[in-house]
């Protein structure tokens, strides 16, 4: 039972946060941690009132918030249930990005500007870089925010229109004959900053999957430095596992290299940080399970 798992003081009238927001936060965490499958029945309004000693108007306002976020469905005679959540799968060890792996994905170019970035400049071995910020959406809902740095001498003639609803790698191949063939990738679990939360339409400190790395052309030259924040409630990372015939047993099969470093938020965001840590542990457990196969 949901109510049995919720602390009696999870909604505290003595706190500084409005009661409806406290309740929506508690219920949201129970839904987004993956423990409540679509169609699961939420506690009734009366049950929530009795559990936390709050008014019906507080309960209804919290449920309306979750409805607006697409987390629950409400209807007469059926109460509130967990809404089906759209999941988008990305194979992280493939060079192709979301625009080619997911059908019907939309790409909006938020900005394209020359800038100074010491890390990108050092990685790409150039004095200046072009920063491109793009927002990827599926069915009108943001699912990923991308920051990319390219060598400015190479990319200075690129236009935003060329990257709208288009693949950057395909554009580089078409415009400059550059084929991206390899790269290094790492994954980290991070908390959404206020800016990321606004761009991806998620609550502040929500767990995100950050994929970052460097891409190389056929000659081994670095062409791109990037980082992409994915909504963890919408995008799932898939791993293809291959067995190295030189190893002694299938148990030594090596999964795609994934580095997971959880990033905790400030103390007041302890609940959200715990969700991120759980996500990181799940990724580590997945890697270990793949090692054993």
pLDDT band at 235 (very low <50, low <70, confident <90, very high): confident
pLDDT band at 5 (very low <50, low <70, confident <90, very high): confident
pLDDT band at 199 (very low <50, low <70, confident <90, very high): very high
Q: Count CB atoms within 10 A of the CB of residue 87.
A: 9
Reduced DSSP (H G I as helix, E B as strand, rest coil) percent helix, strand, coil of the chain, to 5: 35, 30, 35
pLDDT band at 160 (very low <50, low <70, confident <90, very high): very high
β-bridge pairing 235-238 and 180-191: unpaired
Give me the pLDDT at residue 141, please.
Answer: 86
Q: Please provide the DSSP assignment of 65-99 as one string.
A: HHHHTTSEEEETTTEEEEPP---EEEETTSS--HH
pLDDT at 197 > cutoff 70: yes
Are 224 and 180 contacting, i.e. CB atoms less than 8 angstroms apart? yes
β-bridge pairing 105-115 and 88-91: unpaired
CATH topology of domain 88-292: Chorismate lyase (3.40.1410)
Q: Does domain 2-82 have CATH number 1.10.10.10?
A: yes
Structural domain spans, the chain: 2-82, 88-292
Q: Among 261, 269, 130, 106, which residue's Cα sits nearest to residue 193?
A: 269
- pLDDT tens digits along 133-155: 999 988 788 989 999 999 998 88
The rounded distance, in Å, linking the Cα atoms of 213 and 225 is 6
- pLDDT tens digits along 115-132: 999 999 999 999 999 999
Give me the pLDDT at residue 81, please.
Answer: 83
Q: Answer positive or negative: Cα dihedral of 87, 88, 89, 93.
A: negative
Give me the pLDDT at residue 84, please.
Answer: 63
């Amino acid at each position: 039972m949901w109510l049995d798992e919720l602390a009696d003081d999870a909604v505290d009238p003595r706190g500084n946060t409005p009661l409806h927001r406290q309740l929506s936060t508690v219920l949201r965490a129970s839904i987004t941690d993956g423990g409540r499958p679509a169609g699961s029945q939420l506690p009734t309004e009366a049950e929530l009132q009795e559990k936390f000693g709050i008014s019906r108007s507080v309960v209804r306002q919290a449920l309306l918030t979750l409805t607006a976020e697409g987390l629950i469905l409400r209807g007469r005679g059926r109460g509130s249930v967990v809404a089906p959540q759209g999941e988008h799968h990305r194979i992280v060890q493939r060079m192709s990005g979301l625009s080619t792996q997911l059908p019907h994905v939309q790409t909006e170019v938020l900005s394209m500007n020359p800038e100074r970035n010491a890390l990108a400049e050092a990685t790409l071995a150039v004095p200046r870089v072009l920063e491109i910020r793009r927002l990827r959406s599926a069915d009108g809902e943001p699912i990923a925010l991308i920051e990319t740095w390219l060598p400015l001498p190479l990319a200075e003639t690129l236009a935003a229109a060329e990257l709208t609803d288009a693949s950057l790698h395909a554009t580089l191949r078409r415009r400059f004959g550059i084929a991206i063939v390899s790269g290094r990738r790492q994954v980290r679990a991070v908390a959404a900053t206020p800016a990321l939360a606004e761009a991806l339409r998620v609550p502040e400190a929500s767990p995100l999957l950050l994929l970052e790395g460097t891409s190389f052309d056929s000659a081994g030259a670095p062409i791109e430095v990037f980082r992409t924040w994915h909504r963890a409630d919408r995008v799932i990372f898939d791993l293809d596992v291959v067995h190295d015939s030189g190893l002694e047993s299938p148990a030594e099969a090596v999964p795609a290299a994934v580095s997971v470093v959880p990033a905790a938020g400030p103390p007041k965001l302890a609940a959200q940080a715990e969700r991120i840590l759980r996500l990181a542990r799940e990724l580590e457990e997945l890697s270990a399970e793949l090692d054993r196969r």
